Chains A and B, each alone.
Chain A
Amino acid sequence: MIDAILNTFTVSGITWLFVTLCCYAISVKVNLFFKGHPASHPLVITVSLVGLALLLSNMSVPQYQKSVSLLHWLLGPVTVALALPIFKQWQKLKHYGWRLFASIAAGGVLAPLLAWFTLYALDSPVALQLTILTKSITTPLAMEATAQIGGIPALAAVFVITTGIVGAVVSNAVFLCCRVTSPEAQGIALGTVAHAVGTAKAIHMGEEVTAMATLGLCINGLFTAFILPLVFSMGI
């Protein structure tokens, strides 16, 4: 934390933090303009804008990462902050009990295994196979878990966001195809498989869907990030 703060109070630290936050503010506006469509996710736009700024100013990515290390450091506390939505939905969690856990577990196991199997069957490198295992959990947890099991955290962030966007974009068609109309089931699927991006989509679908998506997001993230490193540390 001290390093991150010291890096921030340098000329390049303040400049790039300001540039990044400005780009983010613009992306949020753009996202609002497209009525929160998942494909206009603020991260996609912010990364493009900051990337362009780096290119124009001849700044290298490692230098940039050092300048804004405060942002990267905050990923730790934001992971901790995920405790709050779990706490707020605790009554719902108790109400649905094991049915909720079983539904989330189904998605939490299926999503990474199907993705992993695809990469395994098509002979992709092991590092990618490991990284894709975390694709359905929220980015800060995915990056932590990926680092623990020997994957690539930066790639994990990209996989996770892409998964979220794909999930949110196809969700309406998928629910229609599978004839799933219950808001609870839709919420659980969105939160479990498409994490925070799916949950953002759920906000447009009603309060019940959002509450269940938040639970799916938190429970699946928590369990996956606990179980994956444990399984790998046992030498499988």
Chain B
Amino acid sequence: MLQLKNTFIGAFAILLAYYGGMFLSASLSLPIPGPLLGLVLLLSLLFVFPSIEKHTTLVAQPLLKHMSVLFVPAVLGVGIYWRDIEANALALFIAIGGTTALSLGLTAWVANKLMNKKTL
């Protein structure tokens, strides 16, 4: 019963931040996506009321853990763009395959240089 109540409080906090962010983005016609402002709102909420961390975790953890399933409808919609993908297959292959490996290496190298100084 308590678990249920806490889940409701957590869901309420997340929805409050979500709709707050949507409202801010729309009413001030900001170029920033509403859910992103919602993220910042929830982070502020957590800093002001650290006690709601427990409640939000109950809702956020399963959502974050299984977020892959939420992309299914969007990814299935990619069929319409198949021709674009095919026409640019080589460019996309290099852009996604090649540069990802390169960026990964460069980032790790930079981080390695910077972070080592901190530990010493």
Contact = CB atoms under 8 A, between A and B. Distances in A.
A178 B109 contact: yes
B2 to A, nearest CB: 20
Nearest to B47: A87
Which DSSP category, helix, strand, loop or mixed, fits chain A's interface?
Answer: helix
A118 interface: yes
B118 to A, nearest CB: 5
B117 to A, nearest CB: 7
A80 B14 contact: yes
Contacts of B31: 148, 229-230, 232-233
Interface of A: 20-21, 24, 41-43, 46-47, 50-51, 54, 61-62, 64-65, 68-69, 71-72, 74-88, 96, 99-100, 102-103, 106-107, 110-111, 114-116, 118-119, 122-125, 127-128, 132, 135-136, 139-141, 143-145, 147-148, 152-155, 157-159, 161-163, 166-167, 170-171, 174-175, 177-178, 180, 182, 184-186, 188-190, 192-194, 196, 222, 225-226, 229-230, 232-233
Interface of B: 14-15, 17-18, 21-22, 31-36, 38-43, 46-47, 53, 56-57, 59-61, 63-64, 66-81, 84-85, 88, 90-92, 94-112, 114-118
